[in-house]
Amino acid sequence: MSFECTKHIRSLNFQVNQFDLKIEQLNQSGEHGTTVWDSSKVLSLFLIQMLNTRSKFEDRSNKYCLELGSGCGLAGLSAASTGVKTILTDLNHIVPLLKQNISINKYGIEERWAGYNMNQQSTPLNYQDQIQVRELNWLDFDKDQFEEIKFDYILAADCIYEIELIPPFLQAVIQFSSFKTQIFVSLEPRDPRVIDAFVEESKKHGFSVVKIPRSKYPSPYNTLSAPCNMYKLKKTAKI
């Protein structure tokens, strides 16, 4: 798999879970959310690596994953490829790109599901049920949204690039998580002040914060020059 810069190309093939995801970008749009960032690549491969260490007989169809600020949808689609029910979210004007990427990967993901023996399920997974797109602006969201769902995983790749985004982001994570939710946040280190503030504010908001060591990153990102920092958060207290 090639890890050269891909921000300048219209579409890329990204190998996850032993097959290629095709991801369309709108890299001339001037929008942060229509480009695949390295933080999303690292998070995607890390998630696949983590889930693949578990039993291949595990029934993942009863697991739920929420991706905040999905952008092109790489991390969310990677999670979905393992059989986890996944909801990808972003702003209204990003949703069409998300839907496009979900549509063009339907065949590949369904083929991947067919290769799983997830508890020898008698019924095949339904693509429309397993992978959904919802509009979500976590600067101003409906607190009742997803009320009926207990998410096992929440993902966010490069959603926080300004200090002002940290409080509303954490409020959204608080709203949509439970004490069992594993929250993975991948950040490109543009500004050390943003990283430090994110860690500090997460702890103040009742989360444990563990920085994932580079040795746990997927190859070839398990080096000192890895282009992002990854954190695992878990709720430890109600705020």
pLDDT of residue 1: 41
Assigned domain for 3 exists: no
Helix (H) or strand (E) holding 77: helix 74-80
CATH number at residue 175: 3.40.50.150
Q: Cα separation of 184 and 75, whole Å?
A: 11
CA-based nearest residue to 222, from 1, 45, 21, 81: 45
pLDDT for the residue numbered 111: 84
Q: With respect to residue 91, please indicate whether it lies within any of the assigned structural domains.
A: yes
pLDDT recorded at residue 43: 93
Domain limits at 100? Answer: 12-235
Residue 2 lies in a domain: no
Assess if residue 4 is contained within a domain.
Answer: no
Number of compact structural domains in the chain: 1
pLDDT score recorded for residue 56: 57
Q: Is residue 6 part of a domain?
A: no
Q: Is 175 helix (H, G, I), strand (E, B) or coil?
A: helix
Q: What confidence score (pLDDT) does residue 226 get?
A: 66
The backbone torsions φ and ψ at residue 190, rounded to the nearest 5 degrees and listed phi first, read: -75, -40
Residue with tokens 């926080």: 160
Task: Determine the pLDDT at residue 119.
Answer: 46
Regions of the chain with pLDDT less than 70:
1-9, 17, 27-33, 54-58, 116-123, 224-226, 239
Amino acid 129: pLDDT: 85
Overall pTM surpassing 0.85 (yes/no):
yes
Chain-centroid distance of CA 229 in Å reads 14
Helix, strand and coil content of the chain, in percent to the nearest 5, comes to: 35, 20, 45
- Whether 131 maps to a domain, the answer reads yes
Is residue 72 included in any domain, yes or no?
yes
